[in-house]
Amino acid sequence: MSVTADDVRRIARLARIAEPEDRIDALTDELNGILTWIEQLNEVDVEGVEAMTTPVKFALPQREDVITDGDCRDKVLANAPKSDEGFFVVPKSVE
């Protein structure tokens, strides 16, 4: 499979990328190089190889699902530019 200059122009238009005409040939070569590399991957024998998400098997660390920093409203509101009755006061955004 090979990419032509017309393919690159179409891809750029679909992706809404404005590419100058002098870059089209370079992009064509880059995309063809990527496709050649992908074709090389098809030559690898993966018969009997089990799919995996990581080459290292390990258990993910677990933690208890507990609230550790709750009940500190006054500390949090101390950093607010403006607060009222335990709530942040922000400028009105919708009229």
Give the pLDDT band of residue 66 (cuts 50, 70, 90): confident
Instruction: Check whether 69 has a pLDDT greater than 80.
Output: no
For residues 19-25, average pLDDT: 94
Instruction: Check whether 67 has a pLDDT greater than 90.
Output: no
Structural contact between residues 53 and 46, judged by C-beta atoms closer than 8 angstroms: no
Higher pLDDT, 58 or 7: 7
What is the percent of the chain with per-residue pLDDT over 90, rounded to a whole number? Answer: 53
Give the pLDDT band of residue 55 (cuts 50, 70, 90): confident
